[in-house]
Amino acid sequence: MANEVQNLLKGEFSRLPLAEKIIIKSLGRPIPNINLTQADKSTKAGCFKRHFKKDIYNKNKWICGCGTLNALFCFPCLLFYSDAAEKTWTRTGFKDLKHINQKISKHENSARHMICSTELALLGTASIAAQLDSAYRQNIIKHNEQVDKNRYLLKRIINCIKFCGKLELALRGHDESEDSENRGIFRELINFTSELDTILKEHLKSATLFKGTSKTVQNEILDSMLEVCQQEIRQQINAAEFLAIQCDETTDISHHCQMVMIFRYLHEGEIQERFWRFLSVTDKTAEGLAKCIEEELGPLLKDSPHKLIAQTYDGANVMSGSSGGVQTKIKQKYQNAHFIHCYAHQLNLIMQRAASQNPKVKVFFSNLSAIPSFFSNSTHRCDLLEKIVKTKMPKVAPTRWNYNIRTVSAVFENRESLIDCFRELENKCDKTITSKEAYGLRRALEDSDFIFFLTFFHKTLPHVAILFNQFQSRNKDSVQLLKDIDVFEKAIVLIRDTTEDIQQTVENEHGDNGNKRRKVGPEERNCIIAKEVCDIIIVQTKERLSYRGHLEAASLLDTQNFTNYSRYFPAKILNSVVTYYPMVNKEKLKTELEVMYMREDFKNITGGLNLLSLLTNNNLEETFSEVTKLLQIIITTPMSTSEAERCFSTLKRIKSFLRNSMGNERLNALAMMSVNKNLVHNISNFDEKVMEHFISQKDRRLDFTYKH
C-alpha cells in the first residue's frame, strides 16, 4: 500500500503529484499489530517485560506503526519529513516502551510536529484565507452553477451532432443565415430542440461569445467524437489476441477516391469489424500505400506485431502483388499477416485488375456500363426498350467499375435488338442529347472491337462467377476449393487458346461493319489482348486464392468433421496449420483435438463462436488453450466458413455511406458515427468523454471547468 511506513521512509512524498498525496491521506495511517517487547530490571519485584498494546493508536491519532521494523512512527512528520524533524519518530522508529508517555508528550508539544499535522490536515483543501472568505466561496458556487449550465448546453449540442451523424444527415445547409427557410438539418434540429428546452432557447437568444452552432465548433466536436471512438477501438485491440486488417479503395458520390481501413478482432466474445479511418494517399505505389498503412498500424501494434494475422485488399493494382505488392511489404514487418481473399470483396476484383491493364478493355467496359445507365435515366427509354428488346437492363451500381455478368449476357443476347432500339431513339426522339447518346451507343454495338470483347467476356465471366460462388460457399473444404481453382484455370486456358477462333467468328459474322481497319502489328490484335487478360485472371486468381491456411484451420474445428477425425486424425492438416500459425503449440493442440474429437459434448455445436463460448463459459480456456487460440485466429480472419458468425460487412456499410456523402473535411468522424453505431452506443459516458476532450483542446470562450 502507498501509505505503508516502508514506502514513506524513502522520503519521496514531497515529490508526488497532489492527486497521489491526497490518495495517501485518504488511506490514513497504517496501524498494524507490531511485535514489540521490552525487558525492565529496575523494579524491586525483579525483571518483567513490557508489551506493545494496540490501544495506543486510539489514544494518539498521529501514531502509526511498521510491522516490518516493529517500531512506532509519527505519520504527519513522516510524510512532511525535513532535516529538522526528530529522527526517532521519522527515521529509526520509536521502541522505548518504558518512556513512551513522556516521549509522546514531548513530541506532541514540538513545533515541528504541529507544522506537519497542520500540513496534513489542510492537504487538498483550499487555503485558510479562502475558507474564511465567504464571498470567495459564494463566487465558486456561482461559477460552478454556471459551468453546470454550460456543460448542459454543450451536451445538447453534442447530442444533436451525434443524431445527425448516426442517421447520415448533412450537418450544414447551403444557406444558414437567420432569414433562410432551410438552414440545414443541424441548425433546424437545434432550433426544434430549443422549442422543448427553455435553457437552450434562452442561450441561443442571448449568447454572444459561444453559441455552439458554428462550423468551427461542429468540426471540433466531431474531432472529439472521432478521438473518443478511436481510443475505445485502441483499447479493444490491445485486449484482443489477434487482429486482421481490410483496406479498400472507395469512391464517394463526388468521385473522390480514397483508401478505407477496417480492423477486425474479437471483443468480449463477439467479432467486431470497426471502421478506423479514410486515408488520402498521394503516393499510390506499393511503397507509398504500405507506408501509409504502417503509419496506422505502428502505434497500435508497437509491442505486439505478432497480433496481425490477416491482411486483405481490394482496388489498387499494387495492393496484392505477390512479389512487390503492399501485402508483401506489410508481411516483411508483420510475419503472421497472411494475405487472403476477403468475403466482402466481390467478383469484380479480378476483372477490375484485368481491365486496368489495357486501354481497349477499359473502353469496352466503359461503353458496356453506359448502356444500362442510358436506360436508367428515362422511363420513355425504358418503355421503348421493353417494346423492342422485350427485356430490362440490369441496374448499374455506382461503383468505380461495373463488371456485371448480367449486363454482358443481356447485351450479348440482345445486341441486334438494342441496335434497333438505339436507331429508333436516334431518329425519332426530340431531345438532342438522347439522340446523340443513342447514336454513340449504337456505333459502339456495331464496332467489331466491342463485339469481339463482348463475345470474349461472355465466355469468360461465367467461369469467374462460378469460381467465386464456390469460394463463398460455407461448406467447402480447402481441398475441394483447390480442385475448383484448378478447374477454373483449365477453363480460362481453354478460352485463351481459342481467342483466334473468337476473332475469326466475329469477322465472319459481322465483318468490319463499315469500319476502316488499319493493319496493326500482332501485339495490338484483339486476340493478343484477350490472351493477356486470361493470363492476368489466372495470376490474380492464384494470388488471391492460393493461401489456404485459414481454411485448413477451420476444417480442424468444423464439428461436422469430428466423427471422421476421431477415427482418422488429420495429421497432415495439423502439420500444415502449425506451419502457417507458429504461435500454436503443435503437440498440445494435437492432444486437445484428440480429446475434443472423442467427446460427444462438442459434436453438436455449430460455428466457431459457439464453440469458443462453450470453452469460455465453462472455464476450459486453459485446458484447451491451443484450441482457444486457433478458434480466435479463425474467427478473426475475414473469410467464408461454415459458421454463422460473419458480421454484416463493414466494407459494404462504408460504401453505402459514401454513396450518400459528398467529400467532407470531417468525413472520418461522420463515417465513424454512422458505420460504428453500436460502438458509439456501447461506450460508457460517451457524451461526457467527448465533452472532456472538446474542453481540453483549447481555452474556450465559455467556462466549462469547475473550481474547488
Winning range, highest mean pLDDT, from 238-252, 386-400, 460-474: 238-252
Residue type, 319: M
Q: Which residues are 311's β-sheet partners?
A: 245, 339
Cα dist. 68→10, 25, 72, 368, 378 in Å? 15, 21, 11, 86, 90
pLDDT on residue 253:
52
Q: Which of 228, 236, 219 is nearest to 685 (CA)?
A: 228
User: Of 663, 673, 414, 360, nearest to 527 (Cα)?
Assistant: 360
Grid coordinates of 516:
476502316
Distance CA 522, CA 500 (A): 12
282-334 pLDDT tens trace:
777 888 888 999 999 999 998 899 999 999 886 544 555 555 678 888 999 99
Q: Which DSSP category does 335 fall into?
A: T
Query: How does residue 247 score in pLDDT terms, banded at 50, 70 and 90?
Result: confident
Give the three-state DSSP class for 295: helix
Domain ranges of the chain: 5-125, 223-346+657-668, 350-545, 549-636
Residue 390 and residue 581 in contact, taking contact as beta carbons nearer than 8 Å: no
At residue 307, the pLDDT reads: 95
Task: Identify the sign of the CA torsion 304, 310, 316, 321.
Answer: positive
- DSSP-derived letter for residue 32 is -
pLDDT at 604: 85
pTM of the model: 0.67
pLDDT > 80? residue 123: yes
In 3D, which of 464, 456, 522 has the Cα closest to residue 495? 456
Show contacts of 581-590: CB within 8 Å, 24+ apart. Answer: 581/309, 581/336, 581/549, 581/553, 581/630, 581/633, 582/336, 583/306, 583/336, 583/629, 584/626, 584/629, 584/630, 584/633, 585/626, 588/625, 588/626, 589/626, 589/627, 589/630
Mean pLDDT of the region 49-54? 88
**Least reliable range by pLDDT among 10-24, 541-555, 562-576:** 541-555
> How far is C-alpha 151 from the chain's CA centre?
30
- Cα-Cα-Cα-Cα torsion 41, 43, 47, 53, nearest 10 degrees, comes to -90
Q: Please report, for residues 369, 391, 393, 423, the alpha-carbon distance to residue 429 in angstroms, rounded to integers and kept in the order given.
A: 22, 20, 20, 10
Of the candidates 164, 151, 143, which has an alpha carbon nearest to the alpha carbon of residue 199?
151
Q: Cα-flanking dihedrals φ and ψ of residue 261, to 5°?
A: -120, 130
CA angle (116 as vertex; 111, 117 as ends), nearest 5: 95
Burial string for 248-265 (b: 16+ CB within 10 Å, else e) reads bbbbbeeebebbbbbbbb
Q: What is the mean pLDDT of the chain?
A: 82
Q: Which residue, among 243, 340, 298, 233, has the nearest Cα to 675 in the 3D structure?
A: 233
For the chain, the C-alpha Rg in angstroms (whole number) is: 37
**Cα 114 to Cα 76: distance, rounded to the nearest angstrom:** 9
Report whether 650 contacts 275 (CB < 8 A): yes
Report d(CA 75, CA 116) in Å as an integer.
9
Cell numbers representing residue 182 in the block: 432551410
421-459: string of b/e by CB count within 10 Å (b at 16+)? bbeebbeebeeeebbebbeebbbbbbbbbbbbbbbbbbb
Which DSSP state fits 309?
Answer: E
pLDDT class of 394 with cuts at 50, 70, 90: low
Q: 162-185 pLDDT, tens per residue? A: 888 888 777 765 555 666 666 678
Q: What's the pLDDT tens digit per position in 483-498? A: 888 898 999 999 999 9
Fold of 223-346+657-668: Nucleotidyltransferase; domain 5 (3.30.420)
Q: Which amino acid is at 547?
A: Y
